[in-house]
Amino acid sequence: MKLPGNSKNRRDFLLKNNLNPNSLVSADLIHGNGIARITEKDKSEIITGTDGLITNRKNIFLSVTVADCLPIYLYESEKEIVGIIHAGWRSLMKNILVNAIEKTKKLGGKPENVLIGIGPAICQKHYEVGLEVAEKFEKYPKAIERKNNRIFLDLKEIAKLQLLKLGMPEKNIEISPECTYELPEKYFSARRDKRKEIEAMIAMIGIQS
C-alpha cells in the first residue's frame, strides 16, 4: 500500500529535516504484535498488518503515528539496527516487545546493545481502563492504580517491566515523563480531544549515511 507521504505536513517535516520523503516507511497499525523487517523495496510504502518496523539498512526512515499510545524507539548500536513500535495496551498484552527483540536478534543484534526510548504518551493519571483490561496486567501490580472504584493503567511502566524481563539493562531504557493528555498545546490526544477523525503525531527513526 502506497504511503500518503505525500501529505503536506509530513512532506514539509521531512524536507525541513533534509530527508527524502520517498525514504519513509509507515506501519498500518492494527494494535497487534507484528514487527516487519524493512528493506529498500518498502520505501514509500505503508506496511499492513503490523505495529512495528525494524531495519538494518541506512537511509530508510521508519514511522508510526501516535495520539496517546507509546512510541517506542529501538537502536542496536553494534549492528546499527533501528526500530519503531506503536504500543497500546493490546500490543503490550500481545508481547510486541518480545517480538521486536527477537527480530533484532535475527538481524545479528544483542539485547544488551539495544537502547530504547519511550516517547511522550498518556500517563497513568489519565488512562482509566475497565476491570477486564486491568486483569490482563495483574502480573504488573506497580502499573495498576485503583482509586475511588476506578482503575488506571501505566503503559510506560508496563513497557519498562517487559523490557527488563527480556534482559535489557535499565540504564538502556529512557522514558519521556511528558503526558500527551496534559499538554494540549504540544500533543494530540485521542482521549482528551475525542475527535471523530483522530489527529496524531508521527514518530520516526532512521540512520542517514
- The C-alpha cell of 110 is what? 544483542
Higher pLDDT, 4 or 99: 99
Higher pLDDT, 57 or 20: 57
Say if CB 67 and CB 198 are below 8 A apart: yes
pLDDT value of residue 194: 87
148, part of any domain: no
Whole domain around residue 47: which residue ranges?
Answer: 8-121+168-206
100, part of any domain: yes
126, part of any domain: no
Residue 75 CA to residue 55 CA, distance in Å, equals: 10
Q: What is the pTM of this model?
A: 0.94
67, part of any domain: yes
Which bin fits 68, alpha (ψ -120 to 50), beta or left (φ > 0)?
A: left
**pLDDT tens column, 101-158:** 999 999 999 999 999 999 999 999 999 999 999 999 999 999 999 999 999 999 999 9
162, part of any domain: no
Total domain count, the chain: 1
- Pairing mode of beta strands 61-66, 201-206: antiparallel
Mean pLDDT of the chain: 93
pLDDT value of residue 70: 98
Residue 126 CA to residue 138 CA, distance in Å, equals: 19
DSSP class of residue 191 equals: H
- Pairing mode of beta strands 24-27, 61-66: parallel
> Can you give the CATH number for the domain in which 41 is found?
3.60.140.10
pLDDT value of residue 76: 97
Contacts 24+ apart (CB under 8 A), 41-46: 44/2, 44/3, 44/5, 45/1, 45/2, 45/3, 46/1, 46/2, 46/3, 46/4
156, part of any domain: no
Q: What percent of the chain has pLDDT over 90?
A: 85
pLDDT value of residue 195: 82
Amino acid at 34: G
**pLDDT tens column, 38-72:** 999 999 999 999 999 999 999 999 999 999 999 99
- Does the pLDDT of residue 3 top 60, yes or no? no
- Residue 192, number of CB atoms within 10 A of its CB: 18
76, part of any domain: yes
Rg (CA), the chain: 17
- Residue 79, number of CB atoms within 10 A of its CB: 13
- Does the pLDDT of residue 5 top 70, yes or no? no
- The C-alpha cell of 80 is what? 546499527
